[in-house]
Amino acid sequence: MSFGDPNNPYGPPQGQPPGYPPQQPPQGQPGYGYPSAPPVQPGYGYPAAPPVPQGYGYGAPMEMPGLIKTARVLLFIIAGLQFLVGLFLGIAAGAAQDASNGFGSGDDTKTATGVLIAFALLMLALGTLSIFLGVKFKNGGSGIRITTIVYSSLMLLGSLVNIVKGAGGSGTFGGVISLAFGAIILASMVNGAASAWFNRPKY
């Protein structure tokens, strides 16, 4: 029995009887015709865009600069001291006036008591302003920055007066501390980081 001409290119492959389906190449190996495309390796072509770092980009939150954080903490400390001084002066003025009234000389001390009470109220108001500014550092605009610059400048001026008139006593010591606090707060408000922070877009 003949299986045809073995040299016939259109006949079945040698070793395979006619009537059987042609054998398929094994899976995973390239067949006849066009070879399959090689797998794409990562790193070729256009590289992937790097991730956007936190704190930059549209809508990303911006972190408060370190020097502004320091100024904020100092404002809270100053507020606490101002509240303490205001309460102490107010209580002392009231107790002194009560004692003066008990001795029958209350009318003579009313002016001094009034000055002390006014100074105590001033310290309480300044303490409230210090807390307000410190809280507004988080979401405040350029108005908060300008107010803080004026406030710290007046603090420096008052500190110098206390140092000069303190004559080496408690007034001088308090003036030195206030001078240092005011200088740090003022320096933190006049640099480029403060301008960028308070002028940043609010979302």
Residue 29 lies in a domain: no
pTM here is 0.65
pLDDT at 111: 82
Its domain, for residue 90, covers 66-198
Residue 194 lies in a domain: yes
Question: Per the structure, how many domains does the chain have?
Answer: 1
Name the amino acid, one letter, at 165. K
Residue 59 lies in a domain: no
Residue 83 lies in a domain: yes
Residue 190 lies in a domain: yes
pLDDT values of the chain reduced to their tens digit, one per residue, 203 residues: 555 555 665 555 555 555 555 555 555 555 555 555 555 555 555 555 555 444 444 444 578 899 999 999 999 999 999 999 999 988 988 888 777 777 666 566 678 888 888 999 999 999 999 999 999 998 889 999 999 999 999 999 998 988 888 656 667 787 888 899 999 999 999 999 999 999 988 76
Residue 30 lies in a domain: no
Token readout for 37 is: 């495309």
pLDDT at 56: 43
pLDDT at 30: 52
pLDDT at 146: 95
Residue 150 lies in a domain: yes
Residue 88 lies in a domain: yes
